[in-house]
Amino acid sequence: MDEKAEDHLAALESVWYEVIEAVNCGRTQGLVCPECQHEGGLQIEEQQGRTIVSCPNCKRVVEVGIATA
């Protein structure tokens, strides 16, 4: 991974930080895409212990790794 890709990833994570934190805390309702502010909210999908957050408007997909005790 080159530096530009890493910068992009870090920027993406900081933009999505609040959403990721909310999902980690089990709050999956009323979340809004931080990139396009789509009013329809975000789609939360659980796949094999991982949570995939996706925006139906701008098609952004973010994976949330939930730490299980």
Residues lying near Zn ion in the complex (CB under 5 A): 33, 35-36, 38, 55, 57-58
Q: From the CB of 1, what's the least distance to Zn ion, in Å?
A: 24
Name which of 10 and 61 has its Cβ closer to Zn ion.
61
Name which of 21 and 68 has its Cβ closer to Zn ion.
21
Q: From the CB of 5, what's the least distance to Zn ion, in Å?
A: 21
Contact indicator for 9, 20 with CB cutoff of 8 Å: no
Q: From the CB of 69, what's the least distance to Zn ion, in Å?
A: 31
Please give the DSSP secondary-structure letter assigned to residue 68: P
Contact indicator for 28, 44 with CB cutoff of 8 Å: yes
β-bridge pairing 61-64 and 50-54 = antiparallel
